[in-house]
Amino acid sequence: MEETLESLEKERKELYGKLEGLGDFRRGTISVNYRKCGKKRCTCTKPDHPGHGPQYLWNSTIKGKSYAKNLKLGPELEKYIQETGNYKEFVKLSEELVQMNEKICELRPVREVEEEGELEELKKKLLERFRKRFKKRWTGS
């Protein structure tokens, strides 16, 4: 099935709609932990005992800094589960959106330059843009 520009734009619009309806989201993961308390006479010291818990912990690393929060069983845990799930959906939809836009860019026609003077002016402008950006590479300084 050949994809047309119109059909891809329609699919992209649907993806934007899904993003709008996503709701609140946050990065991170939720883990369930069982911990040993360290008291000699506690039941958690037995080899077959998993430890005290379950304890729910939200973790995230943002710009190289780690964040963690103990979550209470109930509405708080439910809220964090929903928000981290929404974040995973956001990442998935964002990747689909990028792929869709790349397909659209490939199908969209390139502008035709009709005048020779306009073409030369465009070449100068683009060359100057890249000279500024890559000055060290071209001049060796």
Per-domain residue ranges for the chain? 5-110
Residues 6+ away with beta carbon under 8 Å from 128: none
Cα–Cα distance, 84 to 80 (Å, whole number): 6
Give start and end residues of each alpha helix (H) in the chain.
5-20, 75-107, 116-133, 135-139
pLDDT (0 to 100) of residue 9: 94
pLDDT (0 to 100) of residue 136: 62
Phi, psi of 18 (to 5 degrees): -65, -40
pLDDT (0 to 100) of residue 76: 97
SS3 51: coil
Cα–Cα distance, 61 to 29 (Å, whole number): 10
48 neighbors 37 (Cβ within 8 angstroms):
no
Please report, for residues 24, 101, 125, 135, 141, the alpha-carbon distance to residue 130 in angstroms, rounded to integers and kept in the order given: 41, 25, 9, 8, 15
Polymer length in residues for the chain: 141
Segments of the chain with pLDDT less than 70: 1, 135-141
Peptide bond into 54 cis (omega under 30): yes
12 neighbors 101 (Cβ within 8 angstroms):
yes
pLDDT (0 to 100) of residue 31: 96
Phi, psi of 3 (to 5 degrees): -90, 130
pLDDT (0 to 100) of residue 60: 97
pTM across the whole model: 0.76
